[in-house]
Structure 1
């Protein structure tokens, strides 16, 4: 078969060292697929939707809508990362656990809970969450113990400040190298606590204690994070580094978010955390095809004697 008619045989990027993961009832081959992580925040003050999915019914509906639109994964949060007063543990549990239970009752989708608190994590796992997404770099040392005695996966994210506290003017001599070293250290802590590497995922933490120039550099050099050998999350959707780059308010950052997600995928990200699921699924699937990770849905154009 002439090269111009052949299907892609080799991906553009080398496969990850641990390419296949089973998370709950889903098995994902990260050497050939990008997972779309949808965002559902059950908070009255989330940075993007400002409480649109705070009500229980609206949060549950948003979860099932994301699944219907093609999300592989739904990330449910009950406490913002941004500086502010701590959310009582009981309140965070009440925000996220009923949503997890409702989604799990109707779907086998990967469910993560965005929390840094061990007690919230324990309740979430009991309710059916298959991933704990800790955006604070293991600020609660008990968290790894909770995950270790479960079957759940842990996302370890780079951030430097204590939870919900400001971190003005972050400085890095080499942001990608320092983020990679931080994540490697936290991975070592997690494995020492009994969590096997096949249940660990890393996230460089775009915007988290980083300015716009640092987040842009991390995106360019994301392969250095992916080279840790663990599936890598790119949580770039509607972040401030996109808004500042494009002079765009939060409501007008979709195109910049998709561009950042695509570049992240090219540089090794295999999970993208996004607000607009429909657009993100299309962008990821197109990027997979360009990289040779998947074939087109169908072939018709210039494939016969007559151009249909």
Structure 2
């Protein structure tokens, strides 16, 4: 091999690497390495063992442009996968570039000489950012709507800054749920006197009207088969239907004339005010599962504390295959 020449590696080589096979055992790993390096300038024959492959890569990876660029970019500083993909493989799609970087990061740490010295002793860290909440367009006929479990939601957002849906220009509100049964609710804010008058604009945040105090209200999103027998109840805290103009964001209470009208969506609400919660209209019972909500109120999808992180890590370990030589229980 010309010690001064830097070779290119065909992008097809990166696409053909099967990570499930590569991480299975030593024989599978050797097969993947041979398949990858076969036909590459500077390598004329197959490796007879993983040790031979490791020693050869220790001496020669710097002669291949993608690996050389990886070493230069990671020298002495932390670099994100997205940045590596963009700089090393600028002509590939984002998905293909990330896959190619994954191949580099899988192969490079294997490069090791007979003394056990690593050419690329890199550390990779996975950082998880908690979400601040989940938000959805109220228009069930939104161009990017989703349907699941008999419920239709407009386009979904993970940013609280999205007030209007870019797909259909309908308002966007935060989603909440009853964690026991999974029932979904939109949360918005209204003026108390407007609710009493039977028509109210649903604001997204409590501070949008500087000189007036807004009260939170939860709107139950019914499934297509949902029917509530107590719609006509005279109980002050009964669960009643309301109708939203999905373009303007106005709610209409005690007015069934909007039922079935195009551009209006039916929700359910209650004027119940929980103990210690004077600034919100909530529910005594969940419309979906009929359980009391006095102890466990509706919650947002914001990730807080260690429990969410623990669940994420647990799921990751359950999905990741075990290292073959460590599959047996410790003695």
Higher helix share: 1
TM-score by length of 1: 0.25
| Structure with greater Cα Rg | 2
TM-score by length of 2: 0.24
- With CA pairs under 8 Å and 6+ residues apart, which has the higher RCO, 1 or 2? 1
